[in-house]
Amino acid sequence: MSSGVSNGRITRQIYEMYQFNNYQYSVVIGLLLSDAWISYSKDGVNPRIGFKQSLEKFNYLFSVFTVLAPFCHSLPSLITNTRNNKINYALNFYTRSLPCIKDLHLLFYYQNTKVIPRDIYNLLDPVALAHWICGDGQRRELGGLVLCTDSYTLQQVIVLVNVLIIRYNFICTIRTNNPGQYRIFISNKSMNSLRAIVLPYMIESMLYKINLKPKGISNENKV
């Protein structure tokens, strides 16, 4: 499928034909584990996917947009907000509201709250893992990687840790960030294995997440 940007209104028949290919689907799984969301409009029949990143992560957001462009009707938008008297800039985009997104909503949402899909073992393939890390990963100066799973329950974080241990043989532990918030720590001993798995699916500007230094980009002040 080519880009859907500026194609205007489409027929119901074409709406029903939209489907993710395997790669696009895995990208979406990784995005939904981290920063993306699915929402219905008040009178909407079908849901849409939204994704936002800070302006400094423009390259990553646009690479994701390129993958999902067939499902979008407009280019990413610049948005601003003010916090502590400082203006912050970000970019976001939305897909069209499509029937093929309904199943993803059922997988990731229960009573309007994001949850971990029951089939996450099979869904968390290397592509999804790479995009989960791009969204939620924090490198550690002394080695290792933290996945910021703060929004999930302890039971859900335990499920994710089990998948990382059983499917990928990573050495993982769960750490408390704030009361009631839990994060996954992947040991430095597993980082070489992790890099080999996700490196083919990460763009250069995001390599700092796995403690690799992109050409011409310093790792300083990256989180």
Q: What's the confidence (pLDDT) of residue 141?
A: 83
Q: What's the confidence (pLDDT) of residue 125?
A: 98
Name the stretches of the chain with pLDDT < 50: 2, 216-223
Q: What's the confidence (pLDDT) of residue 215?
A: 65
d(CA 52, CA 74): 14
Q: What's the confidence (pLDDT) of residue 9?
A: 67
| Longest Cα separation, the chain | 54
Cβ–Cβ under 8 Å, residues 204 and 219: no
Q: What's the confidence (pLDDT) of residue 181?
A: 94
- The correct answer on CATH 3.10.28.10 for the domain covering 1-111 is yes
Q: What's the confidence (pLDDT) of residue 81?
A: 84
Q: What's the confidence (pLDDT) of residue 16?
A: 77
Which segments of the chain belong to CATH 3.10.28.10?
A: 1-111, 116-223
**Assigned token pair, 182:** 């839990």
pLDDT in tens, 39-68: 998 777 899 999 999 999 999 999 999 999
**Domain 116-223 has what CATH class?**
alpha beta
Beta strands in the chain (DSSP E): 37-39, 48-54, 77-83, 86-94, 109-110, 113-114, 137-139, 145-147, 172-176, 182-186
pLDDT in tens, 95-120: 999 999 999 999 999 998 999 999 99
User: C-alpha distances in angstroms, 200 versus 189, 203, 210?
Assistant: 20, 8, 12
Residues in the chain: 223
* Buried-exposed string 48-85: b where 16+ CB fall within 10 A, e elsewhere: bbebbbeeebbebbbbbbebbbbbbbeebeeeeeeeee
| Nearest by Cα to 115 from 146, 155, 64 | 155
Q: What's the confidence (pLDDT) of residue 43?
A: 72
Q: What's the confidence (pLDDT) of residue 222?
A: 47
d(CA 51, CA 93): 6
Cβ–Cβ under 8 Å, residues 121 and 163: yes
